[in-house]
């Protein structure tokens, strides 16, 4: 086998090789967790399909897969260059010549009703790698799939994602998450009681079942708050991304859901514990900068959206104190009022508790 160092490409200085790689970069692409190319009718399938923690992974740019197969040195240089480009604050997004046509390819493997969601997500892109999460979101009627493991696509991208220092999460959550009911103590149901009554006709049943009675489980285990599903999902991904120290989280909610769901006037009241705490256990003390935004999106027009809460957190004073800035806005009748930049009106600090007990 010929020595790779005898290749003319590797005789070129590294700076020039990276310049060549920059010209070989491919346009932005969305990877999906679905394994089939057409799942628009997934709700009609009888068998359950796998559901993963991540729904979509957006890369602002990508390298040709054939380059990774040439040799180990070129694979390492491609990964290092691509990760450095994604971590930089400069423009990392590569747009192809047929940008509008490429957008259509993003919906190739999306699940039911996901095409509009992906367009809304792209509206808030900022040259960061984006991972879409669905938390307690109903996909088929009232069915909510269990999402415990990262998708095979995510695991296949870990050689690149594991080098990232900044990451963005887009979150679509169901009513139970917004209301905070998913973290309340478990409520058990007393089994139906059966009573017998004498027959008065031939077609009468002897048994009468009484209605079940809702009863709170008083055991010590159930009285403890349940972990927040969003924290669990973020934890499942961050454990494979050891270098991430800057995280952005955009919580998106359709205006239709906002008006139809029975939420408090301060509609983030149900997730206040999550807003006031770490985004996940593994991120506590490790992630140095966090941006959380609650964004209402207008379902009828993908260009309309408004940030109603923006919270920025940064760790200071030798990893013992978190400096927090927060700005809020109430939804008014005029949608244009939410288009302006949201300014921070509150500033406070919170101590970091690194104990695991």
Whether 333 is covered by a domain: the verdict is yes
Please state the length of the chain. Answer: 357
pLDDT of 238: 95
The answer to whether 296 touches 261, Cβ cutoff 8 Å, is no
Tokens, residue 52: 């993963």
Whether 256 is covered by a domain: the verdict is yes
Average pLDDT for residues 286-313, to the nearest whole number? 84
pLDDT of 115: 56
Whether 339 is covered by a domain: the verdict is yes
Tokens, residue 336: 């244009």
**3-class secondary structure, 105:** helix
Dist CA 51 CA 121 (whole Å): 20
Whether 96 is covered by a domain: the verdict is yes
Place of tokens 């993908």: 302
Whether 151 is covered by a domain: the verdict is yes
Query: CA geometry: angle at 128 spanning 18 and 62, to 5°?
Result: 40
Q: Is the predicted pLDDT of residue 337 greater than 70, yes or no?
A: no
Identify the band that residue 105 occupies on the pLDDT scale cut at 50, 70 and 90: very low
Whether 209 is covered by a domain: the verdict is no
pLDDT of 221: 52
**What are the tens digits of pLDDT across the range 197-220?**
566 666 666 565 555 555 555 555
Q: How far is CA 295 from the centre of its chain?
A: 14
Q: Is the predicted pLDDT of residue 111 greater than 50, yes or no?
A: no
**What are the tens digits of pLDDT across the range 120-175?**
888 888 889 999 999 988 765 566 667 889 999 999 999 999 999 999 999 999 88
Whether 337 is covered by a domain: the verdict is yes
Tokens, residue 24: 């070989």
Tell me the residue range of the domain where 48 lies.
21-184+225-351
Report percent pLDDT > 70 for the chain: 66
Count up the domains in the chain and report the number: 1
Whether 120 is covered by a domain: the verdict is yes
Q: Is the predicted pLDDT of residue 282 greater than 80, yes or no?
A: yes
**What are the tens digits of pLDDT across the range 214-236?**
555 555 555 566 789 999 999 99
Average pLDDT, the chain: 77
End-to-end CA distance of the chain: 56
If 0-12 CB within 10 Å is exposed, 13-18 middle and 19+ buried, where does residue 172 land?
buried
């Amino acid at each position: 086998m010929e020595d790779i160092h005898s290749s003319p490409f590797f005789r070129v200085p590294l700076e020039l090789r990276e310049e060549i790689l920059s010209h070989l970069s491919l346009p932005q692409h969305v990877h999906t967790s679905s394994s089939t190319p057409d799942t628009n009718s997934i709700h009609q399938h009888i068998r359950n399909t796998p559901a993963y923690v991540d729904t979509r992974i957006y890369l602002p740019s990508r390298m040709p897969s054939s380059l990774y197969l040439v040799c180990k040195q070129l694979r390492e240089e491609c990964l290092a260059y691509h990760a450095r480009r994604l971590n930089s604050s400069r423009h990392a997004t590569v747009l192809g010549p047929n940008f509008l046509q490429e957008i259509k390819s993003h919906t190739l493997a999306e699940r039911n009703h996901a095409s509009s969601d992906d367009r809304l997500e792209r509206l808030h892109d900022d040259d960061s790698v984006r991972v879409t999460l669905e938390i307690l979101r109903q996909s088929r009627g009232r069915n909510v799939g269990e999402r415990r493991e990262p998708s095979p696509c995510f695991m296949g991208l870990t050689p690149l994602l594991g080098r990232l220092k900044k990451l963005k999460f887009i979150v679509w959550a169901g009513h139970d998450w917004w209301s905070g009911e998913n973290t309340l103590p478990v409520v058990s149901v007393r089994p139906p009681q059966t009573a017998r009554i004498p027959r008065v006709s031939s077609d009468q049943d002897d048994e009468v079942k009484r209605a079940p009675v809702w009863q709170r489980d008083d055991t010590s285990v159930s009285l403890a708050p349940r972990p927040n599903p969003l924290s669990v999902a973020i934890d499942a991904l961050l454990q494979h991304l050891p270098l991430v120290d800057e995280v952005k989280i955009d919580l998106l909610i359709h205006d239709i859901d906002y008006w139809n769901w029975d939420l408090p006037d301060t509609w983030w009241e149900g997730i206040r514990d999550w807003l006031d705490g770490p985004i996940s256990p593994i991120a506590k003390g490790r992630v140095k900068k966090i941006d959380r935004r609650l964004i209402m999106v207008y379902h009828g027009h993908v260009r309309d959206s408004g940030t109603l809460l923006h919270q920025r957190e940064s760790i200071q004073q030798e990893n013992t104190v978190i400096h927090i800035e927060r700005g809020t806005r109430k939804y008014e009748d005029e949608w244009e009022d939410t288009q302006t930049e949201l300014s921070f009106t509150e500033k406070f600090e919170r101590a970091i508790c690194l104990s695991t007990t």
